Amino acid sequence: MRVAVHQGPLDGLPAVDADLVVTAEMITTGYHIGARTHELAEPADGPTAARMSAWARQTGTAIAYGYPETDGEHVYNSVQLIDATGTRLANYRKTHLFGDLDKAWFTPGDDPVVQADLGGLRVGLLICYDVEFPELVRAHALAGTELLVVPTALMSPYELVADTLVPARAYESQLFVAYANRCDTERELTYCGRSCVVAPTGEVLARAGAGPEVIAADVTRDALIASRLENTHLADRRPDLYRGTTA
């Protein structure tokens, strides 16, 4: 599977030579938008989903995009995965809310591992702060996720997350990670870009800079199998020793 990361605004989303395009957290509305979050929130099958499905069909490319989701009285910070036929495959609600920015406007999701099969790979979904919790990434690995897709709104001065932590997560849990950050400015926040596609070896296959950019890399099961044979973290786990350590 060829995976592209679109680091830029939604209206700049190009047709790309890829099987899957990953976009940033809340790309459909903006992230740091206060009360407008609730005004602009839509159901998972709302007008924006229809528009993204149409784009996927027209380009023949699957897409994962971040948006504010409304469901009854609740609004979630969500990411939706749509395949190249325009079919909605999976919808994940951010489980770990970051500071007042998230907690003021969103309800946390309760389903930690959301996955779908796409292009012969098992794709899992997380959002931004979620990937900073090793337990959650490991849960994905143990549940069979092979490519972890992470729409993000990482701001300066936290470049360490994109540059160091994300490759570490890929290596320690032996999966591919596609990390799609914002690169714009909202109010007092400046998003740092640095989107990446990382192999389970920890190798950064593609890395964006600080501005709008599309990066791409090939993700294959053969490479994943080879890495897991060489880097045996999952096989060498001793769960009996870890009981009670995550409480």
- Nearest CA to 177 out of 132, 210, 209 is that of 132
CB 151 within 8 Å of CB 128:
yes
Which one of 42, 69, 128, 146 is the catalytic residue?
128
The burial class, CB within 10 Å (0-12 / 13-18 / 19+), for 134 is middle
Helix (H, G, I), strand (E, B) or coil at 231: coil
Helix residue ranges, H only, 99-231: 99-103, 134-142, 159-160, 166-173, 221-230
Q: How many Å separate Cα 170 from the centre of its chain? A: 13
Could you tell me the sign of the dihedral formed by the alpha carbons of 158, 162, 164, 166, in that order?
positive
Which one of 39, 42, 69, 94 is the catalytic residue?
94
Catalytic residue list contains 128: yes
User: In the chain, what is the straight-line distance between the N-terminal and C-terminal CA atoms, in Å?
Assistant: 37
Instruction: Give the pairing of strands 204-207 and 20-22.
Output: unpaired
Catalytic residue list contains 94: yes
Listed as own residue / partner, the contacts of 33-41 with beta carbons closer than 8 Å and 24 or more positions apart are: 33/186, 34/105, 35/105, 37/68, 37/75, 37/105, 37/106, 38/68, 38/70, 38/75, 38/105, 40/68, 41/68, 41/69, 41/70, 41/75
Question: Mind telling me the catalytic residues?
Answer: 25, 94, 128
